[in-house]
Amino acid sequence: MGIFSGKKGLVLGVANDYSIAWAIAQKLIEQGAEVGFTHLPGDKMERRVRKLTDPIGAKLLVPCDVQKDEDVAAAFDRAGEAFGSLDFVLHSIAFAPINDIKCPYAECSREGFKTAMDISVYSLVIVARNAARYMPNGGSILTLTYFGGERVVQGYNMMGVCKAALDASVKYLAYDLGPKKIRVNAVSAGPIKTLAASAVGDADALGGLYEAVSPLQRNIEREEVGSSGMFMLSDLASGITGEVLHVDCGYNVMGSPGRAVEAIKAGKL
């Protein structure tokens, strides 16, 4: 018997087997959860996600464009039909036009900013609102953020501003949904190679930086984020809401380059 036996939930944002959302979903399933999934509209995106969900016997795979309120509502209605009620929802969605990510934040376009904020931030709001309709006994909502919303990370640009807004949304949603016994949290993972990460910054360089600076002297593993996300969605975290859990080998606590200074002096960096 796993800690998610009898629990049911919906995962939004799996793109492929490198997705952090998929790493978390695998841990949920290992612990006995029944999991439904969404995919971006279109046959190509459905096939990509179905390659992962069919082998595990997922009960639900439904299209969802988070820029359309009716799509989000329909996805949760389908989840309600499949599961009756929901215990957890994982939100792993972010996007910005490539030109607006690649350029300095000061040069991003108004339309690009609107699009990025709509998909990367407001989507959590509309998802949480619809999730609450199917959480009559409370539940847990988790999103994925990044340290670039707290501090400047070269190359993260406009997405860092989006993550800052997402972090604030987690806190306000936690307050709004608290009376319904619904928890809202975020996991802030260190750099992992994903489809989304390929568009921002240099994941390899960041990974090396985390190895040099973090207290544990290494970067994180995908499975570690999966386990941490599973924990935050579980009843083991029943007293935690409005929090951003950093899963980054301690990188976020550092106020200096730490041991990286020694590596630089030794010519290793």
Q: How confident is the model at residue 90 (pLDDT cuts 50, 70, 90)?
A: very high
Across 1-20, average pLDDT: 95
Please give the distance of CA 201 from its chain centroid, rounded to a whole number: 18
Instruction: For residue 3, tell me if it sits in a domain.
Output: no
pLDDT in tens, 91-138: 999 999 999 999 999 999 999 999 999 999 999 999 999 999 999 999
Return d(Cα 178, Cα 139) in angstroms, integer.
10
Q: Is the pLDDT of residue 215 over 60?
A: yes
| Model-wide pTM > 0.85 | yes
Instruction: For residue 2, tell me if it sits in a domain.
Output: no
Q: DSSP per residue over 36-93, as a string?
A: EEEE-SSHHHHHHHHHHHTTTT-SEEEE--TT-HHHHHHHHHHHHHHHSS-SEEEE--
Q: How many domains does the chain have?
A: 1
Catalytic residue among 134, 146, 210, 251: 146
Q: Is the pLDDT of residue 198 over 60?
A: no
Give the sheet arrangement for strand 60-63, strand by strand.
60-63, 34-39, 8-12, 88-91, 139-145, 182-189, 244-247
Instruction: For residue 70, tell me if it sits in a domain.
Output: yes
* Cβ partners under 8 Å of residue 14, min gap 6: 21, 22, 25, 37, 39, 49, 52, 53, 92
**Could you tell me if 173 and 128 are in contact, meaning their C-beta atoms sit under 8 angstroms apart?**
yes
Q: Is the pLDDT of residue 201 over 70?
A: no
Return d(Cα 142, Cα 127) in angstroms, integer.
11
Share of residues in the chain with pLDDT > 90 (%): 87
Q: Is the pLDDT of residue 233 over 80?
A: yes
Across 33-53, average pLDDT: 96
Of 41-45, 72-76, 113-117, which gets the smallest average pLDDT?
41-45
Catalytic residue among 105, 122, 156, 175: 156
pLDDT value of residue 261 = 73
Instruction: For residue 1, tell me if it sits in a domain.
Output: no
Q: Is 18 assigned a catalytic role?
A: no
Instruction: For residue 201, tell me if it sits in a domain.
Output: yes
Strands 182-189 and 8-12: unpaired
Separation in Å, CA 119 to CA 23, 68, 156, 184: 22, 10, 16, 18
pLDDT value of residue 197 = 55
pLDDT value of residue 203 = 59
Instruction: For residue 102, tell me if it sits in a domain.
Output: yes
Average pLDDT score, the chain: 94
Question: Which of 194, 189, 203, 207 has the alpha carbon at shortest distance from 247?
Answer: 189
Locus of tokens 């096939």: 47
Q: How confident is the model at residue 14 (pLDDT cuts 50, 70, 90)?
A: very high
Q: Is 146 assigned a catalytic role?
A: yes
Instruction: For residue 172, tell me if it sits in a domain.
Output: yes
| Length in residues, the chain | 269
Residue 136 domain boundaries: 8-265
Q: How confident is the model at residue 208 (pLDDT cuts 50, 70, 90)?
A: confident
The CATH number assigned to the domain holding 221 equals 3.40.50.720
Q: Is the pLDDT of residue 58 over 60?
A: yes
Across 153-157, average pLDDT: 94
